[in-house]
Structure formats: C-alpha cells, structure tokens
Structure 1
Amino acid sequence: MRRFFRLPVLLSVVGLCLLLGLGAAAQEFRLFERGWFNVKTWWQPAPEGIALQRYRATVQAQPIEGLEDDVSALTYDPERKTLFTVTNARSELIELSLDGRILRRVALVGFGDPEAVEYVGPDRFVITDERQQRLILVHLDAHTTTLDAANAEQLTLGIGLNGNKGFEGLAYDSLGKRLFVAKERDPMVIYEVRGFPSQNPEQPYAVHVVQDRERDSRLFVRDLSSLQFDERSGHLLALSDESRLVLELSVEGKPLSTLSLRKGYNGLKRTVPQAEGLAMDAAGTIYLVSEPNLFYVFEPQAD
C-alpha cells in the first residue's frame, strides 16, 4: 500500500515543480504582462499615436555591404537625411543612406566600448561608452575623418555599473531638451538626463538625472537595446533584442502598441536576429539594424 501511495505523491511533487518552473519562466520573459497587454489591445480601440501594429517590413535582412563588424544603435540625421550607426569591434561612426549603403566611415579614438549614438542637433551627436557609462558629445562636419574622445565634452554617470550591461540606447527630445539613456538590464532602466548636452558651453553644467520607476515597471521586455523619441506624438519607442519587440510608450509611460520582430509578424519572413539599433525619420519610417550587419525598413500601411 505504501508504494501505491508514493506514486501519486511523487507525481504531485513533479507537477508542482513544473508549474513553479513555468511560472518563473513566464515571469522572467514577462509573459503575463505581455499577454494581458495583448488582450487589452484586442478589445479596446487602437490608441492615438504611432500605432506600430500598422507597420510592415519593406526591406528585410539586407546586408550592409562593406561592413562586417557588429553594428550597434542607429540614429536619423534630419539635416543630412541619412542614418548613423557605431561599431564596437573596430570603433567607428558610420554614415548610411536611407537604403542601407555606407556613405562614409569616421574612426573613433578613445571611446572605449561605443554602444549608442544619437543626433542632438546640426553636426552634433552623443555617443555612449557602455562600460564606463560615459556620454560623449562630438561635432561632425563634412570633412571629419576621426573623432577623439579626449577633445570632446563628456559626462560620466556611473549609475549601477555592471560591465557590458550598461548604456545601450539613446533618444533625444529636442523640444524638452531631454536625453533618454537606456540601461540594458540588471536593472533595466530608462534615465532622463537634463542639462547634457549643454545648450550654452560658456555656462557651468547643471545636470539632472531622473528616473520614472512607474514607466520602467511597465516595460514587459527582457532588455533594452535602443530608444527612439517621436517628436510628433511625444511617445518613446523601446527596442528589445531578447524579447524581439519594439514597444511604444505614451507620454505617461504606458505601453500603447508593439511591433513584433518574429517571423510571420509585421510582414517579416524571418525573425530578426539580435536587433541593436532603431531610428525613425520625419515621415515615420522606421529603420532597424541587427548584428552583425543586417538592415531593415518598416513603413506604416493604410488601414
């Protein structure tokens, strides 16, 4: 009789362990929050904003010819109407056309581990050093071939230093003069930096760093790879490589819409591998780069 009762008990213990394991995995991948968001967006009217669900891939997995190093981050330059990315294997700032062709390469000296680049004004860009959590302001003109961090304005934050899980993404709000800085994970945070870059280099810095904990707690993704601020709506886009997702956040920090980077969604024939950079132009077209050198374009479709 004892052996008879041992089997159900053993099965119950195994079943409980499996349930606990599945629950832990679901929490790790934020499946509960993502599932509830999908349910809400299914029965509620689509909110005003970027509406990522309307986007479809028009360029997919196009290799960036002449580039073998790992691309990291992406930003749109409205003056030149081109894109910029950085590589960290061999540190370079690379200008791309809107169809993914290399236009020029600028060597980066003393930038450590460059992971993100963001346009902040005519001929002005901020580049991050992930490991040291440095924000480096550089000036780029038509004749620039090399940028040396030693000659640039810099701000080191040093918040929650964690090796290569540091600053992965940047976005700039030109009207609010806010620089959004994404910490990849452990913990996953979006900081808002005010006062850098300085609007008047002749005056002393007055830098303020704030964090919206409520907004960050709503991010149902596993990591942050890149950010994009949409001037038209005031909304923020957050790219997650591990979750294969682009998430739209409202002014209040609430998730509004998503663009899946998995096969079969948003017109994708294959899942995007290791998405690293995100940018949007004035027309709302989304550009994306994936390591080591793949280029994507997503465009909104008529309802």
Structure 2
Amino acid sequence: MRRLLAINPWFYLFGLALLAVALAAQQYRLFERAWFTVQEWQHGEQWRERSLWLGDYRVVIEAKPIGDISDVSALTFDPDRHSLFSVTNKPARVIELSLEGDLKRTIDLQGFGDPEAIEYVAPGTYVIADEREQRLVKVRIDDATRVLDAADYQQLSLGIGLNGNKGFEGLAYDAANHRLLVAKERDPVRIFEVLGFPHVDEGKPLALHVNTDPKRDARLFVRDLSSLDFDAATGHLLALSDESRLVIELDAEGKPISTLSLLPGQHGLRRGVPQAEGVASDDAGNLYLISEPNLFYLFRKQGD
C-alpha cells in the first residue's frame, strides 16, 4: 500500500504533462496539420497538376533589406506597373517595390489610423485596410501620387467583432467575381467575402454583401492570418500565417491542398522568416514575401 502511494504522484505528474502536450497541440493545430500532411502525401500527384503546389517552390532572394524602411505589412502585385506595393504604419505610408525588392518610392498616408494591408483591384485602383477601425478605403495611385488622404476616397467600415489590433490583416481580390477577401487576424481567424466594394460601376446602385464560410475557416490549421493572395490562374487562395510560419494554398472550395513552410531548412531557406507579414504572386507564378522589419523574399517553382 505504501509503495502505491509513493508511485501515485508520478502518475499525476505524467497525466499533467500529457494534458499540457494535448493543450499545446490543440492551440497550435498540430493534429490538423499532421492529418493534412498525410493527405498531401496521398493526393499530391493529382493536386500538383491543377494548383500552384507550394511544395515545389524554392527561395531565390532571401531576407533582402528594403532600403530605409521598417514595419512593413502586406503585399500586392500590380500587373500594369510590374511592381509590388506594401504599407507601413509608423509612419503611415504606401511603398512601391521592384520585383527584386528594391525601393522605388514612398507615398504618405493621411487620415489612416493603422494601415495593415493594400490590394490591387484594377489599373491604378487599390484598397487599403485600416486594422483597428475595420475600415476599407478605395484609393487611386498614379505616377504623380505622393500623398493619399483617406477623406478623399470611398470608404467602407464593417465593425465585425472589434477587438483592438486583432482586426483586418490581409486583403485579396478576385477580379472575375468582384470579390474582396478580407482576413481577420485571430480570436477567431476569419476570412470575410465582401461583394459590392469597391463600388466599380457608379451608374448602378450600391449592393453590398458580406459573407463568411465557417467550414473553410475551420480548416485553416493556423494560429493567425497575416496576409492573403488570390491566384487568378487557378482560382486558389494563399493564406499566410506568421505565428504558424506557414503559407497555405486553398482550392476554390476552401480546402487546403499545399503548404510552404517558413522554417529554417525548408524550401532552401538558410534561416526562418522571422515575422512574415505579406504574400503576393505575380502573373508568372513567382511568389513574394515580406517580413518585419523590412525583409524581402522571392520564391520560384523548381525548374522555372
């Protein structure tokens, strides 16, 4: 009897350790991620033929500093200018980059509290997301633009589940279906589908719809969302998570089909991406990432 009493505390400690591991696995979505790895291995060949298939990408430019810039957030590709755009919030600016990560110019932002994302939607037209206010602002940018004042442009405030700086973190635009996809960072992770903004045809009345897809969002085995990107060629969505160190490719039904890990040793990375904040793809299938404070990455598919 005494021997049993002496052993029992170890069982309690072992049980607590197992509970801690289970809670950590749940928090970091390790079970879902492990199950996806099995599916990726089983169905990889059929998915590879009709997707971006992120597993085939390798880094070409790694951790290149972007000039005298800090606090970068979000990324979008402009097919007309063949350049990339991002935003910073300290100070609030839009920055334009070359496809090699060189700084081309900066544009001051006025009337924006916490700009966290920018998205190309049409020639010269972009949407900027203000995180804390959950506000979307349609702006125009041309060669002469040096300042953008939010008061001058069309705006939409959603105010869905406001919780400080865990609001809008990423934007993506599906031009064929006029869908603006908006990522809520966390608590909980959500992707909203906004139809009717930006208002493209001024001759027609405004018809605004905001949709959600709980099943798709539940499949996102990530702790947060930092950025989104829509690939028109495949109709697939890329979702970037800083805390999970991962880019996930989702098919048209919202199912994960491939991933790109941002950990050291993966996809040719010598070091892990420290704080991934933006992802974008171009019309040639190249993949671009930026990371705080001002690091630029270019990934290309093997053989391309």
- The bucket for the TM-score relative to the shorter chain is over 0.9
Name the structure 1 match of 2:5: 6
Whether the 8 Å contact between 1:230 and 1:236 is mirrored in structure 2 is yes
Name the structure 1 match of 2:239: 238
| Unpaired segments ≥5 residues, structure 1 | none
Distance of aligned partners of 1:44 and 1:203 in 2 relative to their CA distance in 1, 3 Å threshold: closer
The 1-side partners of 2:43 and 2:238 are apart by 21
Asked if 1:52 is matched to 2:54, the reply is: yes
Asked if 1:96 is matched to 2:111, the reply is: no
Name the structure 1 match of 2:23: 24
Q: Tell me the amino acid that sits aligned with residue 133 of structure 1.
A: Q
Give matches, 1:135-150, under 5 Å. Answer: 135-150=136-151
Name the structure 2 match of 1:225: 226
Whether the 8 Å contact between 1:114 and 1:129 is mirrored in structure 2 is yes
Name the structure 2 match of 1:272: 273
The 2-side partners of 1:94 and 1:302 are apart by 31
Q: Name the SS of the counterpart of 1:44 in structure 2.
A: helix
Cα shift at 1:45: 3.4
Cα shift at 1:102: 1.0
Give matches, 1:1-303, under 5 Å. Answer: 1-2=1-2, 4-46=3-45, 47=47, 48-67=50-69, 69-302=70-303
Runs of 4+ in 1 over 4 A off after TM superposition: none
Identity of matched residues, %: 57
State TM-score, norm by structure 1.
Answer: 0.97
Q: Tell me the amino acid that sits aligned with residue 228 of structure 1.
A: D
Cα shift at 1:152: 0.8
Q: Name the SS of the counterpart of 1:155 in structure 2.
A: strand
Q: Deviations over 1:221-266 (max 9, x none)?
A: 1100000000000000000000000000010111000000000111
Q: Tell me the amino acid that sits aligned with residue 171 of structure 2.
A: L
The 2-side partners of 1:286 and 1:89 are apart by 26
The 2-side partners of 1:60 and 1:80 are apart by 23
Cα shift at 1:95: 0.5
Two-structure CA RMSD over aligned residues (Å): 1.0
Q: Deviations over 1:159-188 (max 9, x none)?
A: 000100000000000001000000000010
Whether the 8 Å contact between 1:54 and 1:302 is mirrored in structure 2 is no
Cα shift at 1:9: 1.2
Whether the 8 Å contact between 1:179 and 1:196 is mirrored in structure 2 is yes
Q: Tell me the amino acid that sits aligned with residue 95 of structure 1.
A: E
Distance of aligned partners of 1:80 and 1:31 in 2 relative to their CA distance in 1, 3 Å threshold: same
Whether the 8 Å contact between 1:125 and 1:137 is mirrored in structure 2 is yes
Whether the 8 Å contact between 1:116 and 1:127 is mirrored in structure 2 is yes
Q: Tell me the amino acid that sits aligned with residue 131 of structure 2.
A: E
Cα shift at 1:7: 2.4
The 2-side partners of 1:270 and 1:51 are apart by 22
Cα shift at 1:142: 1.0
Q: Name the SS of the counterpart of 1:160 in structure 2.
A: coil
Q: Tell me the amino acid that sits aligned with residue 52 of structure 2.
A: I
The 1-side partners of 2:290 and 2:196 are apart by 29
Cα shift at 1:40: 1.8
Cα shift at 1:297: 0.1
Q: Deviations over 1:49-89 (max 9, x none)?
A: 0100000000000101221x200000000000000000011
